[in-house]
A and B are shown apart, each in its own frame.
Chain A
C-alpha cells in the first residue's frame, strides 16, 4: 500500500490501482453523508478533482493521484456513504485506475513514511 500527502491510499491489483482515503482522513472528515464518484472510462490527470465527499461538516474533494483512466467505481458508496467511516482502508475504496506505467507509484509514501508524515 502507498500513501499520498492528500491522505489517499493506493493499492495495486494486477495492472490497476485501487484508490481510497486513509483512516486518518476519514476521521478528520467526520461522518460522511454523500459521495460523488467519477465516470467510468474518464481520462484523468494528476490533481483533477475526481470525487466529492461530503461529511456532516463540509465538502471535500479527492484528487486523482496520478494520470490514468478510471476503470471502475465503488457504487456501494453512493447508497451507503457511511461505509467510508466504517472501513476506509477496506470496503470503502472509491475508484480503480489503469495507469500507463505503474512505476510512478514508487514516488509515493510507504506506510511508515505516511505515519511519519502524520507526525
Chain B
C-alpha cells in the first residue's frame, strides 16, 4: 500500500462509512467518503428532496477563549478579516475569511459567538495554517484551542428539521445562522442552523465517542441518506458557494469573488471600524472602484460540462481569452451542466454570451446569476 494511504487520517465515522459501503478517497489528508452505493446523482437529489447526512469531521473546529475580555478578542479577530466580529450577538454565527496583505483569501470560515468564547470552523486543507495564523496574531487576546475530540456532521435538506427535532426538539425555533448548545444522551451538541448545500439544515459538533451512534440513528431514518463529497460538491456548486482552493484562494480578493455581501458597512470606507485588516488598501479600493476580473455563474449552452480550468473566450473563433472556469460539472437538480469562474468585468453582465474551450472546441456559455437554484434557508 502506498505510504500516503497508510498515513491518511480517519474521522470518528470511518467504520460507519465502510459499513455503509462508501467509496473512500484521500481528501485534505483524510480518508473520506466520495460516494455511497446510491451514487452521486441520487445522493444529490435525495438531499434536495428529503435529507442528507454529511461527515465533515475533517474540517477544523477551533475554540477562541478570550484572555482579556470578549471585546479584545473580537478586535483581534477583526484585525485578521474584513468582517464585523464585534456586534455579532451571542448565539449567532457569521461567514468570514482571513485575508493576506495582498488582499487575497487565506481561508474562508464560519465563526460563532457562544457567549464566553468564539467557535470557529475552518476548511480541512487550511486547518494547520489557520491555527498557526490565529496563534501568531491572537495570542495576546485569546487561547487558541483546536477541538480534536469532536466529530462534525451536517444534516441538510427539507426534512432535516423534522428529523433532528425528533432527537433535539429545541432546534425548531432556530433560524438560519443561529447556534445553540444542547445537552443530550449523546453529550453536548453544538448545533448551528447552517450548511453548504443551499438547503435548510444543521451542522452538529458532537463528541467523537458518541458520533457514530448518533449518525447511525440518523441514517436509519427513511428520510436520511448518507452523502459523500461528490454530491457535496454538486450541491454547493448549484448553491453558488465557493470552494476554497478552487473558486477562492490567495490570489482572489473577497471583492473579486463576489463576497462583498459578507463585508459589513462598519468595515468599509466611512464605517466605524473601517479597514484595519490585512489587504485593506486593495479591498477598500476595489469596493470603491471595482475589479478587473470577477466571479460569475456560467451556464453552458450545450450538454457538455465545462470543468475547472476551461478557458473562456469572447468569440467562437479568434478573439481573446477573458476568463476561466474554477468549478464546473453537472447540476443534478437542473439536469444541465453548470459552472462558475472568473471573467473580465466587461464580460461579467448577466446574459453575456461567451465561449468555453472544451477539447479544442469552443462551445457557447452564458453568464448567469448565482445561485443556480434558490437557497431554502430558514431566515
B40 pairs with A31, CB closer than 8 A: yes
Specify which of A31, A52, A78 is in contact with B39 (CB 8 Å cutoff): A31
Specify which of B230, B330, B359 is in contact with A33 (CB 8 Å cutoff): B330
A56/B330 contact (C-beta < 8 A), A30-B35, A31-B41 known? yes
Specify which of B39, B303, B359 is in contact with A30 (CB 8 Å cutoff): B39
A81 to B329, CA, bound (A): 15
- Residues of the A chain whose Cβ atoms lie less than 8 Å from the Cβ of B307: 58-59
The answer, yes or no, to whether B234 is at the interface (CB within 8 Å) is: yes
In the complex, the chain B residue whose C-beta lies closest to that of A28 is: B23
Q: How many residues of chain B get a CB closer than 8 Å to chain A's CBs?
A: 16
A56/B40 contact (C-beta < 8 A), A30-B35, A33-B330, A33-B337 known? yes
A38 to B346, CA, bound (A): 37
B41 pairs with A56, CB closer than 8 A: yes
- Shortest C-beta distance, A107 to chain B (Å), equals 29
A33 to B234, CA, bound (A): 13
Q: How many residues of chain A get a CB closer than 8 Å to chain B's CBs?
A: 13
List CB contacts (< 8 Å) of A69-112 with chain B.
78, 81
- Shortest C-beta distance, B306 to chain A (Å), equals 10
A56 pairs with B337, CB closer than 8 A: no
The answer, yes or no, to whether A36 is at the interface (CB within 8 Å) is: yes
A34 pairs with B303, CB closer than 8 A: yes
The answer, yes or no, to whether B212 is at the interface (CB within 8 Å) is: no
A57 to B234, CA, bound (A): 10
The answer, yes or no, to whether A23 is at the interface (CB within 8 Å) is: no
The answer, yes or no, to whether B304 is at the interface (CB within 8 Å) is: yes
In the complex, the chain B residue whose C-beta lies closest to that of A56 is: B40
List CB contacts (< 8 Å) of B45-78 with chain A.
none
In the complex, the chain A residue whose C-beta lies closest to that of B304 is: A34
- Residues of the A chain whose Cβ atoms lie less than 8 Å from the Cβ of B35: 30
A49 to B263, CA, bound (A): 48
A57 to B305, CA, bound (A): 11
- Shortest C-beta distance, B104 to chain A (Å), equals 28
- Residues of the B chain whose Cβ atoms lie less than 8 Å from the Cβ of A36: 304
Specify which of B234, B304, B359 is in contact with A56 (CB 8 Å cutoff): B234
- Shortest C-beta distance, A15 to chain B (Å), equals 31
The answer, yes or no, to whether A67 is at the interface (CB within 8 Å) is: no
- Shortest C-beta distance, A27 to chain B (Å), equals 9
A54 pairs with B230, CB closer than 8 A: no
List CB contacts (< 8 Å) of A1-46 with chain B.
30-31, 33-34, 36
- Shortest C-beta distance, B5 to chain A (Å), equals 19
A54 to B302, CA, bound (A): 13
A59 to B358, CA, bound (A): 11
A13 to B307, CA, bound (A): 37
A57 pairs with B230, CB closer than 8 A: yes
A81 to B304, CA, bound (A): 11
A57 pairs with B303, CB closer than 8 A: no
List CB contacts (< 8 Å) of B264-282 with chain A.
none
List CB contacts (< 8 Å) of B170-228 with chain A.
none
A34 pairs with B337, CB closer than 8 A: yes
A34 to B305, CA, bound (A): 7
The answer, yes or no, to whether B332 is at the interface (CB within 8 Å) is: yes
- Residues of the A chain whose Cβ atoms lie less than 8 Å from the Cβ of B41: 30-31, 56
A78/B332 contact (C-beta < 8 A), A31-B39, A33-B337, A57-B40 known? no
- Residues of the B chain whose Cβ atoms lie less than 8 Å from the Cβ of A58: 307
- In the complex, the 4 A-B pairs of residues with the closest C-beta atoms, listed nearest first: A31-B41, A33-B330, A56-B40, A34-B303
Report which A residues bind B (CB closer than 8 A): 30-31, 33-34, 36, 52, 54, 56-59, 78, 81
Q: Assuming A58-B307, A59-B305, what are 10 further A-B pairs, CB within 8 angstroms?
A: A30-B39, A31-B39, A31-B42, A31-B330, A33-B330, A34-B337, A52-B359, A54-B305, A56-B234, A78-B303
